[in-house]
Amino acid sequence: MIIFEWLLRALLGVGGVALVWVAWPVSKGAWQAQQADVIVTNLRLDYKVDLGDVRLAIESMDRAIGFDPTATRHMQRSELLMAAALVPTFDRTPAQRTEWLKRAEADLNFGLGNDPGRGVQWLRLAVVRLGLEGPSQRSVAPLLMSIDTSPMMLPIWKARLHLILDNWQVFTPQQREHVGIYVARTWQLSPDKRWFAEAIRTPLDELFVRYFVRDEPGAQDELTRLLAGKKK
């Protein structure tokens, strides 16, 4: 019994050392990631952010991934890279934009390969590929994955509708039927439908949205009212 007690104590001791050894890079990675949190929050809230601050936040995430290369860390960095590439007020070269979008795509491919049930991240990948290539099946594929993995996540419905409208020309007939059913369902479930009007940017967008909700009672009149209110 004494021998087993000694072995148990020894294993517990080794476990404690191993825990410290494993936890150290994780904690270092978390500390580095926290340096980027303020910038990420400001971007999400649409506060004024300088490109230089975003680049510093990306460097913090580079270090965080060096310590703790998890799927979550890669996806966190992709958000910053996408912002650096696509925020319209940032002054960047076309080469920088392309580089950042490609890095964001690589981060999302890695992250989603290890954690595929992330609807927001699939949507982000669709945006990145749209930014790199324009409308394409490579943008459509993650868009459809986003719908399949998180169909009822209301905060991203407007962004998803934007991507549906932007990619409409490259959808197959089967895909058009699938997204049409989805958009009609979001209309049915939306307690406040103003976001549909906010998603409409062109007369062609309006035509498609009216088509999606063509069978919904009162939808055409409500869209007309919402669009009139948007113009005020």
Distances (CA, A) of 25 to 12, 14, 33, 61, 177: 21, 18, 12, 13, 48
Tens of each residue's pLDDT in the chain, 232 residues: 444 343 333 333 433 333 333 333 445 445 455 767 778 788 777 888 889 888 988 998 898 888 888 898 899 999 899 889 988 889 999 999 999 999 999 999 999 999 999 999 999 999 999 999 999 999 999 999 999 999 989 999 999 999 999 999 999 999 999 999 999 999 999 999 999 999 999 999 999 999 999 999 999 999 999 999 877 6
Judgement on whether residues 224 and 164 belong to the same structural domain of the protein? yes
Residue 30 domain-assigned (yes or no): no
Residue 229 domain-assigned (yes or no): yes
Judgement on whether residues 161 and 225 belong to the same structural domain of the protein? yes
Judgement on whether residues 106 and 155 belong to the same structural domain of the protein? no
As for how many domains the chain has, the answer is 2
Q: What's the token pair of residue 5?
A: 């007690």
pLDDT at 47: 81
Q: What value, to the nearest 5°, has the Cα angle with vertex 90 and ends 87 and 92?
A: 115
To the nearest 10 degrees (0 to 180), the angle between helices 219-231 and 203-212 is 150
Beta-carbon contacts of 97 under 8 Å, excluding residues fewer than 6 positions away, are 85, 86, 131
Residue 145 domain-assigned (yes or no): no
Judgement on whether residues 103 and 171 belong to the same structural domain of the protein? no
Residue 8 domain-assigned (yes or no): no
Residue 5 domain-assigned (yes or no): no
Judgement on whether residues 159 and 230 belong to the same structural domain of the protein? yes
Residue 89's φ and ψ, nearest 5 degrees, are -85, -10
Judgement on whether residues 178 and 228 belong to the same structural domain of the protein? yes
Judgement on whether residues 155 and 232 belong to the same structural domain of the protein? yes
> Which structural domain range is residue 102 located in?
36-85+92-110
- Cα 26 off chain centre by: 24
pTM of the model: 0.83
Residue 31 domain-assigned (yes or no): no
pLDDT at 159: 92
Judgement on whether residues 169 and 221 belong to the same structural domain of the protein? yes
pLDDT at 30: 54
pLDDT at 112: 97
Residue 136 domain-assigned (yes or no): no
Residue 15 domain-assigned (yes or no): no
